[in-house]
Amino acid sequence: MTRSLRGLLRKVVKPESLYPVYFRARNALGRGETRFEIGIVTYVARYEAYFKPLVANLKRQFPDVMIRVAVNGYHDQVRQLEFLAHVERDFGVDPGVELQTWTEPQSLSLLWNRLIRSVSADYALILNDDLTPAPGFRRELEINWRPDSETVCLINRSWSSFFIPTNLVNAIGWFDERFPGVGNEDQDYEARMALDGRVPQNMRIWTLDNLIVKTTDFSYGPEMKVANLKYSGPNLEFFNSKWEVRNFPAEGYIWVEILKAYVRIRPGMATPNFYGGSPDV
């Protein structure tokens, strides 16, 4: 086929009509019109091995997208202050990376909230720091992501990587900062979404590998109880104080997919209005 004939066919049959889903998604992600920013939480024990390679990868694939980073505190203050100085040397003058730092350890809920609050786009793409995107990650997102301002979109059915509309907190509220550490805050948020008649989207992304690193050196100190091998025991305790969970349907209970169970919120446990937007129902 000659070059002139190919050009004529492109005028008659536009690629957008042959691949409408691809082009809608590509335009939604958009190199020309960024609709999302990336948010990542990290801390001293995962910074060199996982976070820095992830950011280098993302900067290659998303040079036009702001990366906002919440650097959690750590129980050893001497080590933490040295670490924060190191982080500042690495990224303090990088125009594509914005740092938020803490000396004392904070809950994951607070860190996620602060990232979402700082995002200036319609959506935040929240990523764990132990993810490894393959070279085709951006292209696969362009093909598969269907922006929906009414719900979150999980990647590979995991809250380790998800899109969240920045205005969703007006309906659901913020992640509950009464969780003191890490774990169960995603189950809590999905349960609150279910109370409002919403379920997360999901998209399968083959070019994103979740390493699921088992934490052995928590920000919160060696005395912290551990639940399910990698989460904060106090978070599980708070979750159980907030929600009643059962395996069979009953009046007043709703199904929550992430829990594979029915739940209802206990009286007086609605989520406070941390920063504005509506509190929990």
Assess whether pLDDT exceeds 50 at residue 22.
no
Assess whether pLDDT exceeds 50 at residue 86.
yes
Helix (H) or strand (E) holding 132: strand 131-133
User: Looking at 6-10, 49-53, 223-227, which range is the least confident one?
Assistant: 6-10
> Which of the pair, 57 or 14, is modelled with greater confidence?
57
**The predicted structure's pLDDT at residue 139:** 97
**The predicted structure's pLDDT at residue 34:** 55
Distances (CA, A) of 75 to 33, 79, 90, 180: 41, 9, 22, 14
**The predicted structure's pLDDT at residue 172:** 95
pLDDT interval class at 27 (50, 70, 90): very low
CB neighbours of residue 261 within 10 Å: 17
What 8-state DSSP symbol labels residue 76? Answer: -
User: Looking at 29-43, 87-101, 179-193, which range is the least confident one?
Assistant: 29-43
Assess whether pLDDT exceeds 90 at residue 217.
no
Assess whether pLDDT exceeds 50 at residue 17.
no
**The predicted structure's pLDDT at residue 226:** 84
pLDDT interval class at 29 (50, 70, 90): low
Helix (H) or strand (E) holding 91: helix 77-91
What is the C-alpha separation between 62 and 75, in angstroms, rounded? 33
What is the C-alpha separation between 87 and 64, in angstroms, rounded? 22
Residues 254, 255, 260, 263, Cα dihedral to 10°: -10
**The predicted structure's pLDDT at residue 222:** 83
pTM exceeds 0.85 for this model:
yes
**The predicted structure's pLDDT at residue 99:** 98
User: Looking at 16-20, 39-43, 88-92, which range is the least confident one?
Assistant: 16-20
User: Looking at 11-20, 199-208, 242-251, 255-264, which range is the least confident one?
Assistant: 11-20
**The predicted structure's pLDDT at residue 123:** 97
Kindly report, residue by residue over 107-139, the tens digit of the pLDDT.
999 999 999 999 999 999 999 999 999 999 999
Distance of CA 223 to the CA centre of its chain: 27
Kindly report, residue by residue over 35-72, the tens digit of the pLDDT.
999 999 999 999 999 999 999 999 999 999 999 999 99
Assess whether pLDDT exceeds 70 at residue 28.
no
Assess whether pLDDT exceeds 60 at residue 20.
no
